[in-house]
Amino acid sequence: MSVVDTTPASTAPALTAREEELLARVPDGLFIGGRWEAGSADPIEVSDPATGRVIKRIANARPEDGIRALDAAAEAAEAWAATPPRTRAEILRRAFDLLQERRDDFALLMTLEMGKPLAEANGEVTYGGEFLRWFSEEAVRIGGRFGQNPEGTGTMVVSQRPVGPCYLITPWNFPLAMATRKIAPALAAGCTVVVKPAELTPLTTLLFVQLLTDAGVPAGVVNVVPTSNAGALSEPIIADPRLRKLSFTGSTPVGRRLLAQAGQNVLRTSMELGGNAPFVVFEDADLEKAVEGAMLAKFRNIGQACTAANRFLVHESIAEDFAARVTAKVKALKLGRGTGDGVTIGPLIDDRAVASMGALIGDAVARGARILSGGNAPDGDGYFFEPTVLVDVQPGSDILREEIFGPVLAISTFATEEEALARANETEFGLVGYVFTSDLARGHRMIDRLDTGMMGLNTGLVSNAAAPFGGVKQSGLGREGGAEGIHEYLTTKYTLIPA
Ligand code: NAD
């Protein structure tokens, strides 16, 4: 059913029949209390970043729609919390199975609205799906404990209860996985949710909530309100005393603002914020492995990942060799629309991202960096930027301080382990670090002393649904995934029963 006026745009894109058919099947409404609804008169226009053209118009939620979504979540909360864990687990497991069946739709849809190459979109279906499977398994293992108090006068019972209605805000870069990483543990814990997907990539969440309904999630348990005015929609929801938890994935500046708002009602919060990952290659590293890790940590998702390696710190004795090997691989990458044959680098998300790559490279070069490959935005449609290698990046360059969020690999050198460590920790962020060395003792020293929530030792990819994902410092609060992930949605209750 269509709840939005879908008059064709004058800029109608040249979509394939398969793409047209899929986009026509994606719901275009707000999902509140188990029903599809229209939003305000001005729909959200979703574009394909490979062409810049509008591919679908969807309903745009107003602040009053957000409050109605919270009404629905609050109304459904008690019954969902009382639903047996086994039932909640089985619904999540069904959602996992359905996602495998509908894998091709989700992968293609993510490529269309976000731009990532189809193979990577498929990888995200796998990764995103694992949160459904993992938390279906965790739902029935919500423990507690009991024991005699030290005085011997009573029994102490500690149990875990769902925290209550949650507001989940997701970014555009992993449209499926960032949603499942929040929705699955919330539902497993017995919480109901209002989800606000990113305005740039809301379609995947809309298709996903339809899947959840098909899997048996009752009305009101998951509500979805895409909007073009995130601040206006979110403020009243966060200020509403019925809300119990805010979980946000996005940039650190927005995270700071939301934390301040959440402070008013002393909300539980999870904050998965920005990163500025160091990628340290020691002189004793297996260089081929380091190069492979670098390609993955830098160019996955077109460099648009919070875990993307941002600062390559390479020992001065091997820097030239490392840069030459990486450059050869970068030159072999294929830029294009993510659906194209053999494409390994898709477009950036929008024109601001393209401009930002140009500015960061310009500043680095003005301070003495050299370009070994790339460096430009090609002519033509879409928001493409050439994969780029920079060497001799000087301290003080913007590219070392800011999150690049694009396909630019910036190399600087170091002389000693102490220097590498000091430079790696020289950031307000602390999400993940990558270290390549064949010296195990050195590896352990880096694990101990690197100020990050996660670390890859001789690998460029750490994400796993069974692992606690999250950062320290201004990269955030809380963990998603792993045994820790469900506790973000549970609250501890202690009861004393006198003997
Ligand atoms: P963003 O902060 O601009 O937006 C994230 C979400 O917040 C979007 O849904 C957006 O609509 C919403 N938002 C923006 N302003 C808001 C406001 N005032 N009130 C409420 N919601 C608001 O970030 P982005 O550009 O979508 O995503 C990229 C950022 O996300 C990067 O910094 C990246 O590192 C970070 N990120 C972090 C993780 C992690 O797990 N740590 C994962 C993915 C992305």
Residue 2's pLDDT band, with cuts at 50, 70 and 90, is low
Report if residue 434 sits inside a domain: yes
Based on the domain organization, do 266 and 346 belong to the same domain? no
Mutate to test the pocket of ligand 1, among 273, 402, 454 (most ligand atoms within 8 A of CB): 273
Domain CATH number, residue 327: 3.40.309.10
Based on the domain organization, do 241 and 367 belong to the same domain? no
Based on the domain organization, do 287 and 158 belong to the same domain? no
**Chain length of the chain:** 499
In this structure, which residue's CA is closest to atom 12 in ligand 1?
230
Distance 141 CA to ligand 1 centre (A): 31
> Which residue numbers are catalytic?
272, 306
Based on the domain organization, do 358 and 393 belong to the same domain? yes
User: Looking at residue 11, what is its pLDDT?
Assistant: 42
Distance 159 CA to ligand 1 centre (A): 33
304/131 Cα distance (integer angstroms) = 21
Mutate to test the pocket of ligand 1, among 169, 350, 462 (most ligand atoms within 8 A of CB): 169
User: Is residue 113 over pLDDT 50?
Assistant: yes
Distance 254 CA to ligand 1 centre (A): 7
Mean pLDDT of the chain: 96
Based on its alpha-carbon atoms, the radius of gyration of the chain, rounded to whole angstroms, reads 23
User: Is residue 496 over pLDDT 80?
Assistant: yes
| Range of the structural domain that residue 316 is part of | 277-465
Q: What is the pTM of this model?
A: 0.96
Distance 266 CA to ligand 1 centre (A): 21
Across the chain, how many H-helices and E-strands are there? Answer: 16, 20
User: Looking at residue 326, what is its pLDDT?
Assistant: 98
Q: Tokens standing for 468? A: 């606690």
Report if residue 470 sits inside a domain: no
Q: Which residues line ligand 1 (CB under 6 A)?
A: 169-173, 178, 196, 198-199, 230-231, 234, 249-251, 254, 257-258, 272-275, 306, 403, 431, 471, 476
For residue 274, give the ligand 1 atom closest to its CA: 34
User: Looking at residue 14, what is its pLDDT?
Assistant: 81
Based on the domain organization, do 309 and 382 belong to the same domain? yes
Distance 33 CA to ligand 1 centre (A): 25
228/43 Cα distance (integer angstroms) = 9
Based on the domain organization, do 147 and 249 belong to the same domain? yes
Report if residue 471 sits inside a domain: no
Based on the domain organization, do 194 and 140 belong to the same domain? yes
Residue 311 CB burial class (10 angstroms; 0-12, 13-18, ≥19): buried
Based on the domain organization, do 40 and 146 belong to the same domain? yes
pLDDT tens across 139-161, in order?
999 999 999 999 999 999 999 99
252/248 Cα distance (integer angstroms) = 10
User: Is residue 212 over pLDDT 80?
Assistant: yes
Phi-psi region of 282 (alpha: psi -120 to 50; beta: other; left: phi over 0): beta
Query: What does each C-alpha distance from 143 to 158, 265, 277, 347 come to in angstroms?
Result: 9, 28, 35, 45
pLDDT tens across 412-451, in order?
999 999 999 999 999 999 999 999 999 999 999 999 999 9
pLDDT tens across 115-147, in order?
999 999 999 999 999 999 999 999 999 999 999
For residue 475, give the ligand 1 atom closest to its CA: 41
**Which among 432, 154, 173, 483 is positioned nearest to 300, based on CA atoms?**
173
Structurally, how many domains does the chain consist of?
2
Based on the domain organization, do 101 and 139 belong to the same domain? yes
Based on the domain organization, do 401 and 444 belong to the same domain? yes
Report if residue 376 sits inside a domain: yes
